[in-house]
Every structure is written in C-alpha cells, then in structure tokens.
Structure 1
Amino acid sequence: MIESTPAPDPATGSPVRLQTVAAAGQPEVTPALHELYRGFEQELLVPLWTEIGDLMPAHPRSHAAPHLWRWQKLRELASRAGELVPVGRGGERRAIALANPALGGRPFATPTLWAAVQYLMPGEDAPEHRHTQHAFRFVVEGEGVWTVVGRDPVAMRRGDFLPQAGWNWHAHHNATSEPMAWIDGLDIPFQYAGETQFFEFGRDGISEAERATPDRSRAERLWGHPGLRPVGAPRPGPGSPLLAYRWEHTDRALADQLALEAEGFGGTVEPGHAAVRFTDPATAGDVLPTLRAEMHRIARGAETAPVRETGSSVYQVFDGSGTVTVGERTWTVARGDLFTVPSWQPLSVRSEAGGTDSDSGALDLFRFSDAPIFEALHLQRTHVEGTIR
C-alpha cells in the first residue's frame, strides 16, 4: 500500500527479485539454488524462507514513523490556501492531509488513518458528496460552520466531536464573517488498501432550509439524551446516529473523573489521567465501525505510563502543554499540535499545563485510532509496564 511496485527485471520481465544469501537458516548457495530462484521469479513465486523475517516478525514493525505537526504552521498554510484555492467542484474540499514522512509521500498519517486540516472561508459552501469512508470532524478552535449531514444542519464549535458514518450525504457552510479550520479524520488508507472505496457527487448547492443555523440538530434532539434511546426511532445503520458530541459534556465528564479521584474514588485510567470514549447511543459500541475516538485529560505534573498498542493513533492537543514521547522521539506540545503513534511504539505523556495555557488547568488530548478494526479481528494487544492483555 505504501511502497512503489518494483520495476520488472529487464532479463525476466518479472517484478519478483530473489537473492541467494549465505546465512544461518538459509539453504546452501549453489548454482542449482540460483537456477531454482530464477524459476520462481519467472512463475511469480516467492518462497517463505526468504521473506519470513519481514512478513512474520516477532512484533509489529510499522512502516509509519512518529511525527509531530505544529498547529500554528498548519493554520498559517491553511489560511494561505483559503486565499488561493477554490472550494467548489474539482477541488471539492479545501482539506490538507498530514503525510507521514515514512510513507513515501502518500497523504496518510498512518497506514490506516487519514488526518487533514479543512478550512472554510466566510460565506463559503463545501458542496455535497458522499463516500464509503467513515469520517469525523473535530474542532480545536472557532465556530460558525455548520456541517449538513442528510440535510440536517449540525453546528460545529470548539471541542465538539462530529462523527459521520460512510455513505451519508454531507456538505458544509460557513454562516459567519470569519474563516474556520478544523481537523478531519477518515479511514481512507484502510479502504484504499482494501480496494473497497466508493465516491459520489451530490447537489452543487444546499437549500435555504439547510442553510439554517439551529443550536441543536435534529439528530441531537432525538439521540442526544444521556442513557435514553428513542423507542420509535428506526434502527440506525452503521455508525452513531448522534451527529455531535458537545464539549460541555466531555469537559464535565473529565473534570468529574479527576474530582472523584481526588476524593479517593476510582474512575481514572491511572493517577491524574482521566479519559472518555465517544460511543454510539444505540449500541454503546464505537461511534464508527473503523475508527475509535477518545478525549484524555492529564492533570498538571502527572505522567502516563508507557503504553504500546497494536494499530495506530493520531492525537491532537486540545488544550494545555506538555511533553510527549513516542518511541525514541520526544516533543514539547501545545494547543492544536498533532502527532502520530505508529503500531507498537511506546507512548508516554507528561502534563505541564496550567491556568495560563489551559481552560481546565490540565493537558487535554483528543485521540482517534483504528482500534475497532483490530478488535473485530482479535488482533488488538496492549502492553503496559510489562503486562500484556
């Protein structure tokens, strides 16, 4: 998926290239072995004994690399793109994807995850379309844009998480006099690798009714009541029918966890580390079939234990500051910065947030990952301080 296809050998016309190697565990190098390998190449065959170290390693070895993108620079470039790049048909969306430096220039944050900054100028509309890729929007700053999903206008504000299952019609409109940026997350690389993707254009414009700016969408009015499922609502399709998870609820849940910990009760992941997962109100499962989304709050001075997980993640700093270590890379981070955690690379975070750089006084991190895929395949594994579960 992430490597170019080797050019065919001029002598054999085959893209398969095999080398006879004198090494432990390999057959003796002889003219007969060399001839056997040329026969394999001609018939497009690859013997496992030459590839097992790469195909079946002792632990995951991700093609992706840990990497950090600074929000200040991303925001500046998105703003310049807003002045130069139209948002209508053709370009379709003014979305600027993160390209992991180890993935050969592909617009992929990890081998399975897409993350992009999307930018909408005042009064602009992003035209309607749909695709099989599952998606969400997360807002780290600003407000004034409404995403219109299935003709239901949904407000986008700082801290809001807005999931959208695949094959739903959607458009966006900016109802204000200010531009707005947010991040998009999709499973584009996963569907690209599986060759399962479909895309379809919708209407070029949205109706006046869809240009409304309601405080709550129809989806929120029906599904946005804690612990209550509407009896008369039709059985939803894949993905959450709730189209917006508001920051005020997320913030309260995280604050309550840390408050309960201070009172001597349980509920946090580890000391000083609160976390919540966004879930489907109809099933209590993940909001999207292929993507998991969470918010983490790490109290000032707290440090998380190093964790390795199969599958990959992308994090965005929502608020606060701190130090992040992924594998052998360590960065200081601040509001808006994004970073990747490849499969089986250890992650640890130390919060250095305070009242001057965080509304909560803590380091708040938004995270999305491909965990639902690997859990469904029974390939999920987590390693925390010497314990595998």
Structure 2
Amino acid sequence: MTQSPLTQDIAMGSPVRLQAVSAVGQPEVTPALEELYRGFEQELLVPLWTEIGDLMPAHPRSRAAAHVWRWERLRALAAQAGELVPVGRGGERRAIALANPSLGGRPFATPTLWAAIQYLMPGEDAPEHRHTQHAFRFVVEGEGVWTVVGGDPVAMRRGDFLPQAGWNKHAHHNATAEPMAWIDGLDIPFQYTNEAQFFEFGRDEISDTERITPDRSRAERLWGHPGLRPVAAGVPAAPGSPLLAYRWEHTDRALDDQLALEKEGFGGTVGPGHAAVRFSDPSTGADVLPTIRAEIHRVARGAETAPVRETGSSVYQVFDGSGTVTVGEKSWTVTRGDLFVVPSWQPLSVRSEAGATDSDSGALDLFRFSDSPIFEALRLDRIHVEGTIR
C-alpha cells in the first residue's frame, strides 16, 4: 500500500501511540496485532477496546483537584498588583484567576469554571468591553465600586451578588478613596474548551452620566421587587437575569427566616441547621445565568451537612464564619473569604464552627457557584445523598 506524503508525515510524528498489552478482555498480543496497531497510528485511529476504561469509567473522574485558596493571601497579592499593574486597554482588568493544581497551570478553577479576585484602586476605571462568557461578581468585603452594565450603574457592596449575562457591555469605576476587591466568576473554561467565545472592546471611557453613584440601579427599580414582575417589560430577549444586583439584606433575611421556621417545627431547610437560597431570574424563575448556578448556604453553629456528590463542579467562598470543609479525602478549616473547589462527583460535607466573634449571623455562610445548569440541560445531572441517587 502506497502512503501519501501527508500520511507519511503523520506516521513519522503521529500523536497516537498504542501498546498491545496482555490483559483480560484484550486481544492476544501477536506480531499481527502489533502491525495492526502501527496501521492505526499511521491513520490516526484509536480503537475503543484500548481506551474504554478511561473514556467510559464507572463514575466521573474529574481532572480537577479539591483545593483551597486563602483570602488573606489572595487579597495581599492583589494589593501588590494594585501598586504594580495598570488597568486599561491590553490587560483590561486587574483580575487574578485561581489555577487548579491539576489542570496544567491553566487559569481555570475547574474544567468549566473561572474564579478570580479582581482589585480596583481608588479613582480607577476598568474600561468597557463585552464577551460571550457569562459572568458575575460577588462581594465578600468593602464597597465603593460601581459596575456599569449597558449604561446602568450598579453599586457593589458586601454580600451583594451581581450577575451579568454574556454579550452585555460593562465597565467598572471606583468612586471612593479606598481600593476594593471582589470575586469574579465566569464560564470561560467551558466556552474555551468548546471554542464558542467572542470578545469585543467597548469605549475607552464611560460617560459622565454613567459615572453617577445611585443607591439603586435602573434594573433594581424595575425588577427588584419580590414576587412582582413589571408588565410592560415582557420577557427579556437575551438570556440571563435582567436584575443586575441581588442585595445582601434580602439574602440574609431569607436565610434567617428558614432557620427560624425550622426551630418552630416547620419545613424550609435543606437539612437540620442548613438553610440555602438560590439566585433566580425574576422573569423566568430559572437560574440567573444559562451556564452558572449561584447559591448562598447558611449552616448553623454545630450543624454538619451530610456528604453530597454531584456531577459537575463547584467553587465556594466563605462569606462569614468558620468551619471545617471535607472534599473527598481532604479537609480544611476555613474562615471568611477563603475559596475552595469541589470537583465532579467528589463528596462534600461541611461542619459549622462559627460564632459571634467571627460571624454576623452566628453561622457559617457559604457562597457557591456551579455549572449545574449545563448538566441539567444535557440531562447529565446526578446527585448522591446518603445512599440515594436522583
């Protein structure tokens, strides 16, 4: 058989490498089998019988590792970057991404999720741009920055969750004399892996009318009333929540009420001493972003959650309090601001050790974001809780 020049080049440097092995379920190792495998390599072919254990395991085996990042150290490094690294065209943002230790140094917290600390110095602006990646901001401390989404200035304060669906123009400006840090979450790894991302520069500067500092954004005035939908607004054409800020005072009250109802003997909590709320799109009731789910969990002091496994990955940040987190075989003591990763199908359990000295609520409050909407849309979602799979 005559090989084409292209086939010859591939054969000499083929990335496919096959090894005949003597094992149950594998063909007998013979010269003929070796010759067959060399032919596969030349033509860039891989037989399923040599790869099935890796491609079709009995359960998910995530490439990501369970890992924790300490907020105190992250913030100190971000402050150093604030003195050394400019914000503007080119770098665009002073955002420092979490790199999972098992993902080859890529700036990915998990195979689908990006998490970063962003830092803005007093009086600084982060220029306008837009991208197809869906994003949010969550504030664990501080205030003074306004994110401007589609010309609408939105205040950022401790405990606030600020979603921003893809392809919305957005910028940030710090209107105070103090620096501010927060975390960004995006689906960058998911879109990167699936080769679906687009990016576009916006204006170099926002207008004076966008540089105002209103207490409530236009989006909040229209969509931020519990249970009330503006009739004139209809259904937004673009995906993602039209509400640009979910304020901490509402989240805090909802969590408090769940635990109070539990004490009174009524339902409403996820488990004993474990309250949780999910941020939802007020126009549809669905997740706030098409590819990202966001929640706040409050675990009362002394309570411990049952181990839970889920397909898909999550990133958590401690909003308040302290406790012990166990992910798979790893356990850490965590405090305010610390971030940790839960890879796909690794069990997570949490024990709250919070008290009046380290928590405003007296409980352990955890912010969580995950890729659950992707898995649910593809019917690949699965949860295992104490022997029950659903």
Q: State if a TM-score over 0.5 links the two structures.
A: yes
- Aligned partners of 1:9 and 1:15 also within 8 Å: no
Query: In the TM superposition, what are the counterparts of 1:351-366 in structure 2 within 5 Å?
Result: 351-366=352-367
- Aligned partners of 1:144 and 1:176 also within 8 Å: yes
Tell me how far 1:9 sits from its aligned partner: 9.7
Tell me how far 1:118 sits from its aligned partner: 0.2
- 1:38-77 CA distance string (max 9 Å, x none): 0001111100000000000000000000000000000000
Instruction: Give the partner amino acid of 1:215.
Output: D
- 1:15-50 CA distance string (max 9 Å, x none): 111111111111000000000000001111100000
2:295 paired with 1:294: yes
Unaligned runs of 5+ in 2: 1-7
- 1:72-96 CA distance string (max 9 Å, x none): 0000000000000000001100000
> SS in structure 2 opposite 1:166?
coil
2:336 paired with 1:341: no
In structure 2, do the counterparts of structure 1 residues 363 and 89 end up closer, same or farther at CA, with 3 Å as the change threshold?
A: same
- 1:177-211 CA distance string (max 9 Å, x none): 00000000000000001100000000000001000
Query: In the TM superposition, what are the counterparts of 1:192-203 in structure 2 within 5 Å?
Result: 192-203=192-203
Aligned to 1:58: 58
Aligned to 1:105: 105
Aligned to 1:71: 71
Percent identity over the alignment? 87
- Aligned partners of 2:129 and 2:202 also within 8 Å: yes
Query: In the TM superposition, what are the counterparts of 1:1-389 in structure 2 within 5 Å?
Result: 12-236=12-236, 237-389=238-390
- Aligned partners of 2:129 and 2:171 also within 8 Å: yes
Instruction: Give the partner amino acid of 1:216.
Output: R
- Aligned partners of 2:163 and 2:244 also within 8 Å: yes
Aligned to 1:5: none
1-structure distance, mates of 2:143, 2:10: 58
- Aligned partners of 1:67 and 1:339 also within 8 Å: yes
1-structure distance, mates of 2:179, 2:24: 62
Aligned to 1:4: none
Worse-matched range after superposition: 205-214 or 228-237: 228-237
Tell me how far 1:278 sits from its aligned partner: 0.1
2-structure distance, mates of 1:213, 1:268: 37
Instruction: Give the partner amino acid of 1:118.
Output: Q
1-structure distance, mates of 2:80, 2:205: 25
Unaligned runs of 5+ in 1: 1-7
2-structure distance, mates of 1:255, 1:41: 61
1-structure distance, mates of 2:12, 2:204: 51
> SS in structure 1 opposite 2:126?
strand
In structure 2, do the counterparts of structure 1 residues 10 and 281 end up closer, same or farther at CA, with 3 Å as the change threshold?
A: closer
Tell me how far 1:234 sits from its aligned partner: 4.3
Tell me how far 1:373 sits from its aligned partner: 0.1
- Aligned partners of 2:10 and 2:42 also within 8 Å: no
- Aligned partners of 1:153 and 1:217 also within 8 Å: yes
2-structure distance, mates of 1:367, 1:147: 21
1-structure distance, mates of 2:225, 2:258: 20
2-structure distance, mates of 1:187, 1:274: 26
> SS in structure 2 opposite 1:171?
strand
- Give the CA RMSD over aligned residues: 1.0
- Aligned partners of 1:292 and 1:371 also within 8 Å: yes
- Aligned partners of 1:223 and 1:230 also within 8 Å: yes
- Aligned partners of 2:11 and 2:42 also within 8 Å: no
Instruction: Give the partner amino acid of 2:99.
Output: A
- 1:87-124 CA distance string (max 9 Å, x none): 00011000000000000000000000000000000000
In structure 2, do the counterparts of structure 1 residues 299 and 9 end up closer, same or farther at CA, with 3 Å as the change threshold?
A: farther
Tell me how far 1:10 sits from its aligned partner: 8.9
Q: Give the structure-2-normalised TM-score.
A: 0.97
Q: Give the structure-1-normalised TM-score.
A: 0.97
Tell me how far 1:235 sits from its aligned partner: 2.5
2-structure distance, mates of 1:32, 1:329: 47
2-structure distance, mates of 1:160, 1:332: 24
Tell me how far 1:147 sits from its aligned partner: 0.1
2-structure distance, mates of 1:333, 1:13: 48
- Aligned partners of 2:11 and 2:43 also within 8 Å: no
Aligned length: 382
Aligned structure 1 segments of 4 or more residues deviating by more than 4 angstroms = 8-11
